[in-house]
Amino acid sequence: MGKVILITGASSGMGKETAKKLISEGHTVYTVARRIDQMQDIGQIGGHPIMMDVTDEADIDNVVNTIIRKEGRIDVLWNNAGFGLYGSVEDVPLDEARKQFEVNVFGMAAMTQKVVPYMRKAGQGTIINTSSMGGKMYFPMGAWYHASKHAVEGLSDCLRLELKQFNINVVVLEPGFIATEFGSVLLDGFAKIRKDSAYRQMMNKIEDGTRKAAEGNGSSKPAVIANAVTKIINSKKPKTRYRVGKFAKPMVWMRTYLGDKLFDKIVMSQL
């Protein structure tokens, strides 16, 4: 039997690729993003795209109420919406940092709060929260992004324990380097603060590395995420974490077992 699935951040990359795969497998898939024009192809193959901003409570209410009215349930919520804010702690305006948390953390929490009552009533459900290998490690110029993803990890762990009694699974997805718009967003962020920054040299090196990764074989295709999400959805007892994509497993392993100073040295050697 197909499941009713709600995916945020599905206008491109991992969200869109996975939505298409799940639709082809017979699931009822609702996709939401601000850029609804970029989800028309999902509608053409049987999906249900809806425009929504994860920071707008009225938008969230409209989406959840629409799905419940039409389907009567939401079996899977994949909190995938998010973006990467890059720049030094000194340079990034705090208003931009707050926006990072509004989308990556509070948007995810708002979606969860609206959907959980229906899953609880049904006595089952699965919530997938997109973190990152960056939720377990760190890299210079990524303080606000890493902080938001560390918050996703902690929130998800607490949520998992709270919802276990209601037979609701909470799974953390930790992608590595995936070929998405992430790199271009990073470069755009640097462009806004480069002129007067004391960190220009470091920014230039990170930009060079980002471009080389995009041009070469430095990233996995979004299909690896689609396969992982399918595996999670089809599992009666999914793992608590799925680390998928280029460098995800080795980078988190190094962060876990090598200690701060050695890991710092390895990271800085790349710059």
State the catalytic residues: 11, 131, 145, 149
> Can you tell me the distance from the alpha carbon of 89 to that of 72, in angstroms, rounded to the nearest whole number?
45
Q: Give me the count of residues in the chain.
A: 271
> What Å distances lie between residue 260 and 194, 206, 253, 254, 263, CA to CA?
28, 21, 12, 10, 5
User: 47-76: string of b/e by CB count within 10 Å (b at 16+)?
Assistant: bbbbebbbeeeebbeebbeebbeeeeebbb
Tokens of 63: 């989406």
> Can you tell me the distance from the alpha carbon of 254 to that of 149, in angstroms, rounded to the nearest whole number?
18
> Can you tell me the distance from the alpha carbon of 271 to that of 265, in angstroms, rounded to the nearest whole number?
10
> Can you tell me the distance from the alpha carbon of 180 to that of 177, in angstroms, rounded to the nearest whole number?
9
> Can you tell me the distance from the alpha carbon of 3 to that of 266, in angstroms, rounded to the nearest whole number?
44
